Structure 1
């Protein structure tokens, strides 16, 4: 009997070895800031190509992103799982993560998405004024209320992530983590408060066997161009000496493999078990281009060389 997309999603998150044509890519994009037909075309194409999970946030596109995704999900129920994040206002600023505020935002997200339960519900940020225990208990309450199937966090410091994983683990739940993760490591000062999955975070992810949604997995196009690109009027956070040399190594290996440099960089990300690279293609052709990374099998030596040059 074929598995449903959501059964496959749980299977891949839990690394239980399901044999399936499904893949670990997560679809992001400018939902709510583009024509509805563009969103619909991209979501349908992604689902048809074995995609399982679409990612958005309660704050994206001035609060319009969830509704844009929800319009398609209502017409195609059970086709894709959905991950959304709460903890930012519609300007992208952090809010206090009180239980009442979180529950109110989650109920609003459920209405926007048109689903009975959110497949993966994440805190978009931390609230250091509150204990990990309090924030974890709020997440558990959301699961117990039937509002979320899986829960987790984005942009938490490693020590707080570890404490959360332990707290939820004691209650039988393994959280999902969400951080920037790609071959290009950004200048943290230019990420505007968001966090890269550094060695400390990755140690927690591995130790607690967490699934990691790696956003900006293509480093905002760093490996597909030769010149830096400003973001929101600020310098390109990926334009560093280390990342420029990594791009050159991708170009060299891509020539050997008959692939594109950005495909090699994305294959590097896929090489890491438990990482779900989030991609933000604007067209169906760009979805297909990203999915080509599945056909590249890199050796451990190539993976190490791409990152460290040795």
Structure 2
């Protein structure tokens, strides 16, 4: 008997093996800031293509994103798992991660999403004023209350991530890590407080065998372009000399493989076991293009060359 999407999700978060009907892509997008029919069309296409997990946040779209996803989930229960994040207000600013505040926001997220349990709940930010033990206690309490199934963090410094992983590991929980991860390494000064999965973060991920949700896996469309593009009127954090060279190498390899540069770049992320790349597709065509990356098998030499050029 086939396993349900949520059973597959549990297995894939804990194992490197893949089921033929499922894939590791996570679907993000402008939920709550677009017409409801656009959201519904993309979620349906993603689910039909073997997708397991949709990603949003309690703060996205001025607080409207979860409800937009929830409208579809209510009509299609059990079809997709959902990960959401708490810790930002509706302007994107950090808030204190007190136990009461976190529980309040999680209960609001459950109402918005129309689900009994959130599949993956992430702290959207750290609260350095609080100990890792206190923050871990809150996450475990959420699990024990049956409000969430899996927990994790986004945008924590590597040493705090490692400490949380050790603390939760002692309680038989493996946290999910969420960071920017793509072939294009961004200029950290232009990420506005968000963190890239640098070598220190990746060391913690590997040491504790954490699933990694890699947001901006396509570097905001960087590999599909031929020149720089501003993001909300600000410089593109991915438009660096190193990344321009990586984009040229993607173009070269795409020509050899009869593929597209952005597809090659996305296949690079899939080569890393335990990484779940998040795709911010705005159309079903972009979902289809992203899924083509599953059909590209890169060699170790190609993976190294794409990143380092040698």
Q: Which residue of 2 aligns with 1:199?
A: 199
Aligned length: 310
Give distance in 1, aligned partners of 2:111 and 2:64.
12
User: How far has the Cα of 1:5 moved from its partner?
Assistant: 0.1
Is 1:20 aligned to 2:20, yes or no? yes
Is 1:3 aligned to 2:3, yes or no? yes
Give distance in 2, aligned partners of 1:21 and 1:206.
26
Gaps of 5+ in 2: none
Give the alignment's TM-score, normalised by structure 2.
0.99
Give distance in 1, aligned partners of 2:281 and 2:234.
22
After TM superposition, where is structure 1 displaced by more than 2 Å over at least 4 residues in a row? 16-20
Q: Which residue of 2 aligns with 1:97?
A: 97
* Structure 2 residue matching 1:231: 3-state secondary structure: coil
Is 1:118 aligned to 2:122, yes or no? no
Give distance in 2, aligned partners of 1:193 and 1:306.
27
Once the two structures are superposed, the pairs formed by residues 48-197 of structure 1 within 5 Å of their partners are 48-197=48-197
* Structure 1 residue matching 2:221: 3-state secondary structure: helix
Give distance in 1, aligned partners of 2:81 and 2:52.
6
Give the alignment's TM-score, normalised by structure 1.
0.99
User: How far has the Cα of 1:229 moved from its partner?
Assistant: 1.1
Give distance in 1, aligned partners of 2:135 and 2:228.
38
Give distance in 1, aligned partners of 2:20 and 2:274.
16
Give distance in 2, aligned partners of 1:233 and 1:155.
23
User: How far has the Cα of 1:233 moved from its partner?
Assistant: 1.6
* Structure 2 residue matching 1:122: 3-state secondary structure: strand
CA contact under 8 A between 2:59 and 2:91: conserved in structure 1?
yes
Give distance in 1, aligned partners of 2:237 and 2:296.
27
CA contact under 8 A between 1:96 and 1:127: conserved in structure 2?
yes
User: How far has the Cα of 1:17 moved from its partner?
Assistant: 3.1
* Structure 2 residue matching 1:172: 3-state secondary structure: coil
Deviations 1:262-293 (A, max 9, x none): 00000000000000000011111110000000
* Structure 2 residue matching 1:119: 3-state secondary structure: strand
User: How far has the Cα of 1:18 moved from its partner?
Assistant: 5.3
Give distance in 2, aligned partners of 1:47 and 1:139.
28
Gaps of 5+ in 1: none
CA contact under 8 A between 2:132 and 2:160: conserved in structure 1?
yes
CA contact under 8 A between 2:218 and 2:262: conserved in structure 1?
yes
